[in-house]
Amino acid sequence: MSHDTVAEMVASARVLLQDQIPPYRYTDQELVDNINMGMLEARRVRPDLFLTNANNMPHYHDVDSTSIALDPQYHTTLLYFVVGHAQLRDDEDTQDARSELLLRKFTSHLLTVAS
């Protein structure tokens, strides 16, 4: 499954969050906000990923077919942030550990070759 658009990214996140059947546990707006936060975090550690729009970061509003303005090889990396950040709000030990793992994976994918 590709993650080229906001809708595809949110759909992929819902698979990992096991939240595909409405009413959703994580709202569409929460996941879109996570995409925006992930983009800003990526901009912080990898400004080279945003050479042409460094001063005008893309901001997404709705779950639609808007393309995600990030090099395709880092779309899965962004997905890890979206899922990890969504699970940050939960207060269970297993969720905390998973959230931490995914957020660490996001950063390590941006900064190292490690998979």
Can you give the binding site for other proteins, defined by CB under 8 A? 45-46, 48-49, 51-52, 71, 73, 109-113
Reading phi first (left if > 0) and then psi (alpha if -120 to 50, else beta), residue 21 is in: beta
CB-nearer residue toward other proteins: 94 or 112: 112
Nearest partner of 43 among 74, 5, 11, judged by Cα: 74
Least distance between other proteins and beta carbon 49 (Å): 6
Least distance between other proteins and beta carbon 69 (Å): 12
Least distance between other proteins and beta carbon 44 (Å): 11
CB-nearer residue toward other proteins: 2 or 94: 2
Kindly report the length of the chain.
115
Q: Cis peptide leading into 23, omega within 30 of 0?
A: yes
CB-nearer residue toward other proteins: 20 or 52: 52
Number of neighbours of residue 30 by Cβ within 10 angstroms: 16
CB-nearer residue toward other proteins: 26 or 50: 50
Least distance between other proteins and beta carbon 52 (Å): 6
Mapping DSSP onto H, E and C, the string for 8-35 reads HHHHHHHHHHCCCCCCCCCCHHHHHHHH
